[in-house]
Structure 1
Amino acid sequence: MTARQVTIEDVARTAGVSRQTVSNALNAPHRLRATTLARVTAAIEELGYQPDQSARSLRTGTRKVIGYPAPADNPVDPNPLMGGFLQALVSAADAVGHRVLLFRCDPDQGAAAVAKSFHGLIAARQVDGFVLSDVVHDDSRVDVLTEAGFPFAAFGRTAPGRPQNWVDIDSAEATAELVRLLLAQGHRRICYVNSAASLPWLADRRAGLLRAAADAPGGAFEVGVPDDDPAALSQALQRLLSGPDRPTALVCASDWLALT
């Protein structure tokens, strides 16, 4: 008997209990005695029974699906972190019996387009909540979900005074730690290679570097370049590194800048 053929009645027969008892084992195990629950669980595992998720969704009003607006991939400035983030998100969801639904939502197209993307999924009851990444301080996706009263969590902080359901890296402290490491190694002229993009995590990294470098006798240089112009970055660094006051160490705001 394959998993697709197994029914709740088959499990009940094998365990020697009623259909309702099997249902309780799946949905309200606290109602059963430990011995009964163990017997039903053993029958479920033996037969390979898989509950009908569509029927359960009708009863509970939940889909066990998390919506994730996949970020656009910029070939000029690829973000290898997000591939691992998506893999971790899917694995964590799977561990608790959930699935992740990917969809496109481009904040650059305006608030109306963002609202249409999210409202469509909410109205169709296709997801129970959303996970956002690449969050900026004035993120329109946060506004749409807050106004809709729909659950969400964000990888990245929103601005102070706005909805705060986030997990984030302490970018300021991470960069400060890099500077402290270089200072401990004897470096006193540190160059910060910064992106021209005004993204909140880049601003935090710069603030952390400046704070940690404040006591460096030689001070900290800064080179800022457009995101899409590696040639400009290369030329700026060549001039700096060949000058009389060249730095002894570099700190880069991103992996892309470091590789360039």
Structure 2
Amino acid sequence: MTGSEKSSSFRLVYVPGVMPDKWVRVWNERHPDVPLALTQVPAGAAAGRLLDGDADAGLVRLPVDRTVLSAIPLYTEQTVVVVPKDHLVTAVDEVSPEDLSDDIVLHPLDDVLDWENLPGRPAFERPATTADAVELVAAAIGVLIVPLSLARLHHRKDLTHRPLKDAPESSVALAWPEDATTDEVEDFIGIVRGRTVNSTRGRTQPPAQDKPKRDDRRKQPAGPTGTQRRGSSGGAPKGGKSGKSGKRGKPRRRS
């Protein structure tokens, strides 16, 4: 699809934890004639939906394959540990990986954090999803480490969370197929970047006309006037001497 082609709708996918509401609202205000079709997809499926042509753009979690997808990082989330409300770590404001050494740390198959060494003790089985892992935390089977937005998404009254330091973080980005940068994609880029409706949005604009140089402006003729001021071109300079006197003197007496 070329940049000049128009879609009947703008198809946006987003991953769990991302809240696109404010951007969708701005889109609907600016483009009432182009509906925005919003679809939530698992984090691991977002890139495939874009490459298969099932969506025009997506709010995804990094990393993505930059050889086929363009991406603009938007923000990086804080990492937290989700625990029962009576867990020992609730006594502190921030948790370190060492504080979890005696805990079973659940590692769901859809985990979005890039771990080198997961803290704590591993579970016998990996939960299929983050939602399943939250249920296990509520059953006091173990604890779970996730980005803050996912802890909020799966909030339960019997669970709480604390920031975890020295842990990997998850970044959210706007991504789209590199060979399909349409006008609608450019418009949505402008929205997520906070551009106003009158901004150029990166599109090519006609070159501005050159302003006259300062010297040229000095040389421009003055507008027409009823009479020329004294000292202007064609008149005698102010305070200067003219070739003839303005008054006739008395004639000399002949002897």
TM-score by length of 2: 0.35
More helix by share: 1
TM-score by length of 1: 0.35
More strand by share: 2
Which has the bigger relative contact order, CA under 8 A and spacing at least 6? Answer: 2
